[in-house]
């Protein structure tokens, strides 16, 4: 059980880290083991984490290898090891051993 919060803006006015911090604090009980956020011009993402898999390397939001795709995720990809091997054979590089890292690579592969 993790917590996910976000802000989307039509104009590139920016998202304040303080806004994301307050949103994540409101859902902290859903993921007491970690907190991460991304604040951009048009969107902001916050994630509170309950650590189960790859406890040391599973912080979110997580970017793919070139930073073009950001992921916040709650759930599990049960065949992520197989997907990871396939994506690695196509040149993707991963920073963690976590299924979310695999999903960011898969997403990039699908939109490329």
Q: Pick the closest to residue 15 from 23, 27, 25 (CA basis).
A: 23
CA 111 remoteness from chain centre: 17
43 is catalytic: no
| Annotated active-site residue in 2, 43, 109, 110 | 2
Q: Is the peptide bond before 31 cis (omega within 30 degrees of 0)?
A: no
Tokens of 100: 């979310």
Alpha-carbon span 103 to 26, nearest angstrom:
27
Q: Pick the closest to residue 61 from 45, 39, 41 (CA basis).
A: 45
Active site residues: 2
């Amino acid at each position: 059980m993790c917590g996910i919060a976000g802000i989307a803006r039509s104009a590139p006015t920016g998202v304040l880290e303080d806004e994301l911090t307050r949103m994540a604090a409101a859902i902290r009980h859903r993921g007491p083991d970690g907190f991460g956020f991304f604040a951009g011009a048009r969107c902001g993402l916050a994630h509170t984490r309950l650590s189960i898999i790859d406890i040391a390397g599973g912080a979110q939001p997580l970017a793919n290898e070139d930073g073009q795709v950001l992921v916040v995720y709650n759930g599990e990809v049960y065949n992520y090891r197989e997907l990871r091997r396939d994506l690695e054979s196509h040149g993707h590089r991963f920073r963690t051993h976590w299924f979310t890292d695999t999903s960011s690579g898969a997403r990039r592969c699908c939109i490329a």
